[in-house]
Structure 1
Amino acid sequence: MTLCKMAVSNIKSNFKNYWAYFLSSSFSVFVLYLFISITYNKNVQNTLGKMKSSMILLKIGLGLVILFSVFFIWYSNSFFIKARKKEFATYMLLGISKSQVAFLNFAENLMITLMSFLSGIILGIVFNKFFIMLLFELMRAKGTAEFQFSLKAFNSSFMVFAIIFFIISINGYLTISRSSLIDMFNAAKKIERGLKISILTLVMSVVSFIFMSFGYYLAIKKLGDNIILAPKVVLLIVIGTILFFTSITAVIINIMKKDEPYIFKGIRLIPISQIYQRYRGNVGSLSIITVTTTIALCALLFCFGGFNKSIENARNLCPFSVEYVSGNKNSDEIFNNALKEHKEVSVKDKAVINFVVVTANGPFYNNKSDISILNESKFNKVNAYEGINRKANLNDNECYYVAVDTMSGNPKGNINKKVSFKFGNKDYNLNITNSDTKNFIAIDHCREIIIVSDNVYNNIKRQAKSENFFNVTGYMLKNDFGAEKFTDKLQDDMPKEASLATFYEHYTSGMKIMGVLAFVGLFIGILFVMATGSIIYFKMSMEAKEDKKNFITLRKIGVSEHEIRKAVLIENLILFGVPFLLAALNTYAASFSISKLLELKIVKEYAIIMVAYLIIYSIYYFITVKDYMRVVKE
């Protein structure tokens, strides 16, 4: 009981040393509870419907939260134990046994874990409805968000954090039981080994530069066109990043340390000497922080870049707002009746497209296949309706080939190839003068299409029979994004043989996937930045206690508090700034590949994500500086 009271007293008097750990642990519980409750929320499941991919994304996000929470809390707890070894040694000198000290550590961890768990659960319950609404908004879906408590999410979160607590308790017990009094008193001094620069360090610096440069080159120039290179690029940049901290940064610090005219100007000697002494102990953490931050930033960039790509994807899958196979008067009547009933939509343009289907030899397959033929005037008119910037201007011996993505390869490779077929009593041998893969009818109705001159088309049409025609009716609406109820009405009433395709349906399907992806990316990104910021905070807080005597000496020889604060600002700026800048540079190189993969400019998304990360890191930076100054001034 006395040890429990002692644990409570320690937490009360030293909570300022626990707040970052408590905050990050609480956020981990909050995100975990949130993901589990949303994944199994009936309204969310009903909104997602049969889209298993969206549910898989939520579960992947849940798995990442669990894995990172285990790693982060174990890593943070290791820092705490290391920082408190001297305190534990003092307890032992006062007559407390190792087992009692281990129990004291266990009791403190239990209290902090329970406080974190409860605060995280409370936050999860309070904000559950808000984040379900956010998910629906990101998915552009209408669903019911209710304020509720999920017992399943509570139980699952409790089990996960019980396991995490068990892991850190075992780690704490083993660390304390295996450490001698001398080891505990000298725990912090083991970090202070200073830098050692050798020929191997210089060689690794060159290797780091080569690896990162080649990785950046592949990411910027090659990866977007050849995704198979991705593992190679990731390996090069990860190894280059680790070597950067173990070699290049070490060489730079060593050069600065030995440059006397530079180091003795102002207060530069203090932060550079501090970093010089501590750097070897920080290499692993800085490397991990940079790599994980790069991964988080790239994931966010892809998620939000893809989110903005959804409209373009939907337009490519269904360029018309509404499209169906013609030939059934009942379909036209159903459309017009639905239009009269739903005044929120109106027709801007209408096109009836009459394809003639022939069997031809061409670049699409190794043998004969069916292709659809359309005249250039109708093709140009449809493109104008849909806002597609292309136009056919053909002679009678020429054609424009609109390829299907999955079959065509590089469409420009089809130029100057031939399309040959016989229709009626005439042979046609047409030269392909242009080719692309931009759909102008819905993917649901697509097949290989060639555009011919009006004269050739009319000749073919005159000899065609009714079974040779494939007719499609398409409408462009003035307000696509408000067509939900109108689209639902058409889907209920249209006969199956009409093969109804709508932009709104493709758009909402894409937004469900990308909305879930953006939602997962948002929380994983925030969790990563909070955890990495906390790790640097923990390290600097621990080192501040050991540096305290150095700053006492500096004050005694006349160094002012303002100069000490300036030195602390510089030291922390390097430790916070270098990982962020290198991660931002890595992400910038990756952004070229992501941009090519998405076929979308993502400069805006990159800038927004970098600014958001910078703001959060800056908050941690100033809090760390404030806490560091508080410790060294005590």
Structure 2
Amino acid sequence: MMLCKLSLKNIKKSIKDYAIYFFTLILGVAIFYVFNALGSQTVMMDVSSSTEELIELMMTMLSGVSVFVSFILGFLIIYASRFLMKRRNKEFGVYLTLGMSKRKISLILFFETLFIGIISLVVGLGIGIILSQLMSLVVANMFEADLTKFAFVFSSSSCIKTIIYFGIMYLFVMIFNTYSVSKCKLIDLLNGAKTSEKIKLKNPILCIIIFIISCLVLGKAYHLVTVEFLTLQEAENILVPIVMGCVSTFFIFWSLSGLLLRIARSMKNFYYKGLNSFTLRQFSSKINTTVFSTTIICLMLFITICLLSACLTMKNSMNANIKELAPADFMFTTNMNMDKYYDSFRTYGYNDNKIKNSHYTVLEMFNIFNYDITRDVKEYVEINTYATPDLTMNHTLGSKLDSVRTSFPFLQYDTKESIIKISDYNKVARLYGNEEYSLKDDEYMIVADFKSMVEIRNMALENGETINLFGHTLKPKYNSCQDGFLEMSSNHINTGIILVSDNVINEDYLVQNHLIGNYNTSDKNEIEEIENNINALAKNPKANDYLLPSGSTRLSIKEATTGLSAMVTFIGLYLGVIFLISSAAVLGLKELSESSDNKQRFRMLRKIGTDEKMINKALFRQIAIFFILPLILALIHSVFGIMFAMKILEVFGNDQLLPSIIMTTIFMVIIYGGYFLITYYCSKNIIKERY
């Protein structure tokens, strides 16, 4: 009973000085509950069956991420406990001096961990339950769910899961604390606060050389992930700039640790101004242990910034693309003349009857299946796509082929180009609300919207490369690709379509027929019924011998896009926030420990007449250096990291990058800046003179 009271008294005494530790525990519990309770919140929402499946998939992904998150939080809690144990070395030494056994000290720590765990779980779950209701509104908005049936929901499964995961973490902390106490020696406990790391001034020449080499290596890594991005097609190649970046980051901090104090000392007006010399020596006194931890924190901040920026950009771009890239209600396509040109179709599961019967348009195929789609639509267009082995990318690139092949060896240059009549394309453009074009009989043009392929094709178009098609020699009308597309999607996937005059086309090379249009209703339920009827045609016995048209609809694209963007958003936020909290918490705890160790030094400043304002200013600067130093390099890394991510995600577009960066900045300011302020005020409380 006495040990329990002592434990509670210790907790009460420590809360003020170590608010960061308790704040991190509570925040970790709340975030863990919120993201694991998303599935339970959606139970009360009226969503379609396909949307429900997407939500289930999202929750499966989040459950997997939660395991990874639990490891991060577990290491963070153990790391925090290590610093708290160090803070209390003298206290434990006094206990041992008074005759208390190590077993009883371990029991005190056991009760403290137990009480802290219970308090953080209760408070964290309470906050998490409230936040989860707000998060459910975000989910409902993303999935366009009907909120008329929304009600306050408590997820018992998520609560139990949170308690189990954090219970296991606290168990490991108890084991760690018990082990630490069993290994401690009385002399070390009593003198631990007095020991500090000796300031070792590294050889400045060596530091300069290593700094320059590290910057050059880092520059090469930046070059690889941006300019030479397309050479990183294999996993082992991508690892090269990652390793280069990590190693060079460590040595940049290592070399700076040896240069900063020397540079500052050479600037005597700065070094001896106010308490700058004290602040810089405080920074240097623990520099050897700071280098590695600063490197880890810098890389975690870099991952956080890139992850949040990329995920939010992808989500915003995909949502914005739906209106632009899926402007019609449906697009159905059927392959034609497969027996003439596509023997390889047999390898894709097409039987001989389907290949033999591949001479019907989309409308004709629907009629064969006894389905009259025209009764459900108000407008539609029919267009054809052509292809010939005599026109591949090898031919359209012309004299630029060799230089392009050298830079982009992975492209399939022997793939047949898609060819469309200019009149057919204009039908689609009119329906989509896109620009229409005109061509002479000796001209061709290319429409595309996939940025990388546009850049490649423009090399040939700028050179005026001619093509030979069905006995006609054609010259490009434009010296660059024009923006446009045929296939509806939520992404920019059109790598290039060749448009030619109607008089150039040879109908013998017809390979696909497309039906594109709008339904005669805008009611979502009625549209779902129409599309369910079309999907049900797959059960028709005629499906064994005839090729049922494949299709993409605005509704299916929208639902798939919503599901993917939701998964990307929540997983990105989940990991990003946890990484950000971990980085800031580690820095905060380390600085609190430093402040505790340096109380005697600050007391000496007071004795020689330093006023409280100067002391607080010195403390502020000291903490600011530790928070800003890894952030600066992380921001530099992030510029190139985001460029790399945008190249990978260019299919989604990057028009929404700026809003995403603004949102990421807000997250950084609130969480990272919040931890900085909490660290400063807690440190100020620790070094405050007690009267």
Amino acid corresponding to residue 112 of structure 2 in structure 1: E
| Cα offsets for 1:481-530 (capped at 9, x unmatched) | x8644532431344745655322321221121111211222232222222
Structure 2: which amino acid aligns with 1:176? V
Query: 1:455 maps to what in 2?
Result: 503
In structure 1, the residue corresponding to 2:384 is in which secondary structure?
strand
In the TM superposition, 1:416-495 aligns within 5 A as 416=465, 418=467, 420-421=469-470, 438-442=484-488, 450-457=498-505, 470-475=513-518, 484-485=524-525, 487-494=527-534
TM-superposed CA distance for 1:562, in Å, is 1.1
Residue pair 1:224, 1:593 contacting (<8 A) in 2 also: no
Contact 2:392 2:413 in 1 (8 A): no
Query: Residues of 1 paired with 2:299 and 2:511: CA distance?
Result: 59
Counterpart for residue 341 of structure 1:
none
Q: 1:261 to 1:359 in 2, by over 3 A?
A: closer
Match of 2:668 among 613, 620, 626: 613
- 1:127-526 map, 5 Å: 127-142=131-146, 145-198=150-203, 200-223=206-229, 226=232, 228=234, 229-311=237-319, 314=322, 318-324=326-332, 325-327=362-364, 330-336=372-378, 352-355=381-384, 361-363=390-392, 374-383=420-429, 385-388=431-434, 392-400=437-445, 411=457, 416=465, 418=467, 420-421=469-470, 438-442=484-488, 450-457=498-505, 470-475=513-518, 484-485=524-525, 487-494=527-534, 496=537, 497=548, 499-526=550-577
- Pairwise CA distance, 1:370: 8.7
2:125 maps to what in 1?
121
> CA 1:18–1:113 in 2, change beyond 3 Å: closer, same or farther?
farther
What is the rounded CA distance, in whole Å, between the counterparts of 1:367 and 1:622 in structure 2?
A: 57
Deviates more, 1:110-119 or 1:588-597: 588-597
Contact preservation (8 Å) 1:66, 1:160: yes
The aligned counterpart of 2:19 is: 19
TM-score normalised by the chain length of structure 1: 0.84
CA distance in 1, matches of 2:553, 2:640: 37
- Pair 371,485 (structure 1): closer, same or farther in 2 beyond 3 Å: farther
Q: What is the CA distance between 1:301 and its match in structure 2? A: 1.1
Alpha-carbon distance between aligned partners in 2 of 1:299 and 1:257, rounded to the nearest angstrom: 39
| Equivalent residues of 2:253, 2:295 under 8 A apart | yes
1:630 aligns with 2:685: yes
Q: Does structure 1 conserve the Cα–Cα contact (< 8 Å) formed by 2:591 and 2:679?
A: yes
**Identical counterparts, % of pairs:** 23
Shift of 1:363: 0.7
Partners of 1:317 and 1:506 within 8 A in 2: no
Q: Please, which moves more after superposition, 439-448 or 527-536?
A: 439-448
User: CA contact under 8 A between 1:363 and 1:417: conserved in structure 2?
Assistant: no
What is the CA-CA distance between 1:539 and the residue it aligns to? 1.7
Secondary structure in structure 2 of the residue aligned to 1:522? helix
CA distance in 1, matches of 2:313, 2:496: 30
One-letter amino acid of the structure 2 residue matched with residue 185 of structure 1: L
SS at match of 2:199: coil
Change (3 A) 1:396 1:626: same
Describe the shift of the 1:367–1:207 C-alpha distance in structure 2 as closer, same or farther (beyond 3 A).
Answer: closer
Q: Which residue of 1 is the match for residue 31 of structure 2? A: 31
Gap runs ≥5 in structure 2: 333-361, 395-411, 538-547
String of CA shifts for 1:445-494, please: whole Å, max 9, x gaps.
Answer: 9999643213335xx56xx89x98825232499x9xx8644532431344
**C-alpha contact (below 8 Å) 1:398/1:432 kept by paired residues:** yes
Correspondent of 1:101 among 102, 105, 111: 105
RMSD between aligned alpha carbons? 3.8
How far apart, CA to CA, are the structure 2 residues paired with 1:52 and 1:142? 18
Residues 359 and 371, structure 1, Cα contact 8 Å, conserved in 2: yes
Alpha carbons 1:28, 1:120 under 8 Å: kept = yes
Say if 1:12 and 1:218 are closer, same or farther in 2 by CA, change over 3 A. Answer: same
- Give the match for residue 343 of structure 1: none
Query: In the alignment, residue 236 of structure 1 is paired with which amino acid?
Result: M
TM-score (norm 2): 0.78
CA distance in 1, matches of 2:563, 2:316: 13
Q: 1:13 to 1:353 in 2, by over 3 A?
A: same
8 Å Cα contact 1:135-1:516 kept in structure 2: no
* 8 Å Cα contact 2:308/2:664 also seen in 1: yes
Q: Could you tell me which amino acid in structure 1 is paired with residue 217 of structure 2?
A: F
Question: Could you say which residue in structure 2 is the equivalent of 1:77?
Answer: 81
Distance of aligned partners of 1:203 and 1:314 in 2 relative to their CA distance in 1, 3 Å threshold:
same
Distance between the aligned counterparts of 1:224 and 1:357, measured in 2? 30
Q: Distance in 1 between matches of 2:419 and 2:133?
A: 53
Q: Decide whether the 8 Å contact of 1:359 with 1:368 is kept in 2.
A: no
Report how far residue 280 of structure 1 moved. Answer: 2.5
**Matched residue type, 1:491:** E
SS at match of 1:473: strand
Contact 1:257 1:273 in 2 (8 A): no
- Letter paired with 1:439: F
Instruction: Within 5 Å, give how 1:51-90 maps onto structure 2.
Output: 54-90=58-94
Displacement of 1:112 after TM fit?
Answer: 0.4
Q: Residues 250 and 385 (structure 1 numbering): CA distance in 2 closer, same or farther, change over 3 Å?
A: farther
Is residue 141–residue 512 contact of structure 1 (8 Å, CA) maintained in 2? no
* Structure 2 CA distance for aligned equivalents of residues 473 and 244 of structure 1: 58
Aligned-partner Cα distance in 2 for 1:274–1:370: 68
Deviation (angstroms), 1:55: 4.3
Q: Distance in 1 between matches of 2:287 and 2:413?
A: 67
Structure 1 CA distance, aligned partners of 2:415 and 2:78?
Answer: 62
With over 3 angstroms needed to count, the CA separation of the structure-2 counterparts of 1:373 and 1:222, relative to structure 1, is closer
Q: 1:361–1:420: 8 Å Cα contact kept in structure 2? A: yes
Structure 1 residue 307: deviation in Å?
A: 0.5
- Higher mean displacement: 318-327 or 411-420: 411-420
Cα deviation digits, residues 161-212 of structure 1 (max 9, x gap):
2221221112111211111111112334444322431255444323322222
> Aligned partners of 2:416, 2:225: CA distance in 1, in Å?
40
Q: How many pairs does the alignment contain?
A: 607
Question: Aligned partners of 1:270 and 1:201: how far apart in 2?
Answer: 23
User: Relative to structure 1, is the Cα distance of residues 558 and 172 closer, same or farther in structure 2, using a 3 angstrom cutoff?
Assistant: same
User: One-letter code of the match for 2:274?
Assistant: G
Check 1:263–1:397 CA distance in 2 against 1; reply closer, same or farther (3 A cut): same
Q: C-alpha distance in 1, partners of 2:618/2:184?
A: 34
Q: Deviations over 1:539-565 (max 9, x none)?
A: 222222222221222112121111111
